[in-house]
Amino acid sequence: MSLTDNLEKNEEMYGTGRMQEYILELLTEIDVFCKKNDIRYSLSAGTLLGAVRHKGFIPWDDDVDIMFDRINYDKFLDLSSNLPKDLVIQQKIWVKRITRIDNPNIDKEMGCVDLFVFDEVPDNVIKRKIKTFLIQLLQGMLKTEHDYSKYTFKEKILVFGTWFIGLPFNYQFKQKLYDRISRIDNTGKNNMINVYNTLFECVQRCRFDRRIIDSYLEVIFEDKKFTIISGYDEYLTEQYGDYMKFPRIEERKPAHMRY
């Protein structure tokens, strides 16, 4: 099946094909930029899952995620002024994302490529717990919108409390502090890594052997080639469990991360 046929099928079944075509072009431009500037990146999260399980988009998905180690992430941001002129980097609380200047769906978090970064997990248990606690505290301080209906009474108190603690500090200060805390104990000697600019529960739950990012592979994604980490199996298993198993039909719909 050709790329056009595949995306048309996704549009017909899930209403995602046109958006997938839009963000595939965006991802292609980012890939060209990274290869030109010797920046290592990998498809991430559901995009990586799609590459492995579907050799392209998860049919019902409508966004793209990529990830870097800290060195390549910083290099990418340092050179980002050289990205194509119609691309812009925006920040949604603690997640940076790339989209087009004229994207009409930016407020809906659609038509974007989200950028994630691996930092080190301290081997020392106390340092690790402190780093996780501070990240989760900052997440509560940075959030401006909350759906309290999904929280228990205890969680409502915690969410409100962290939001209240953050009120005296301006948004930019909290974002910079989040970045600094994410880098805590990045010594190059710790055994584990994690993505700290992601969901609350993933910050607490997920840890990966640093060797998963030692090397990279090229894989077919739709009719193009993109880069993934060689340790994709460990990463996807930690994230999704039995990741080759398809979800139930009623669960096959776009699911944006709500930070």
Tell me how many domains the chain contains. Answer: 1
The answer to the question of residue 24 being in a domain is yes
In a domain, residue 104? The reply is yes
Residue 113's domain spans which residues? Answer: 3-251
* Residue 259 belongs to a domain: no
Lowest mean pLDDT of 115-119, 193-197, 207-211, 243-247, name the range. 243-247
Integer-rounded Cα radius of gyration of the chain: 18
232 domain-assigned? yes
Tens-place pLDDT, residues 130-150: 999 999 999 999 987 777 777
Over residues 56-71, the mean pLDDT reads: 93
Query: If you average pLDDT over residues 33-57, what whole number do you get?
Result: 96
Question: Does 134 fall in a domain?
Answer: yes
Q: Is the pLDDT of residue 257 over 60?
A: no
pLDDT for 258: 54
Does this model's pTM top 0.85? My answer is yes
How confident is the model at residue 95, as a pLDDT?
A: 92
The pLDDT of residue 1? 60
User: pLDDT higher for 205 or 108?
Assistant: 205
Distance from C-alpha of 116 to C-alpha of 103, rounded to nearest angstrom:
21
Does the residue 137 lie in any domain? yes
- Is position 90 within any domain? yes
Report the pLDDT averaged over residues 154-162: 85
Reference 26, options 46, 5, 6, 47; nearest CA is 47
pLDDT category at 246 given cuts 50, 70, 90 is confident
Please report the pLDDT score of residue 256 as a whole number: 60
Considering the chain, what is the average pLDDT of its residues? 90
- Collapsed DSSP state (helix, strand, coil) of residue 255: coil
- Collect all residues with Cβ–Cβ distance below 8 Å to 185 and sequence separation of at least 6: 120, 122, 124, 127, 131
**Type of residue found at 139:** Q
User: Residue 78: is its pLDDT beyond 60?
Assistant: yes
Tell me which residue has tokens 């939001």: 163
Does a structural domain hold residue 256?
no
CB atoms within 10 A of CB 131: 23
Per-residue pLDDT for 33 more than 90? Answer: yes
Which of 15-24, 62-71, 209-218 has the least mean pLDDT? 15-24
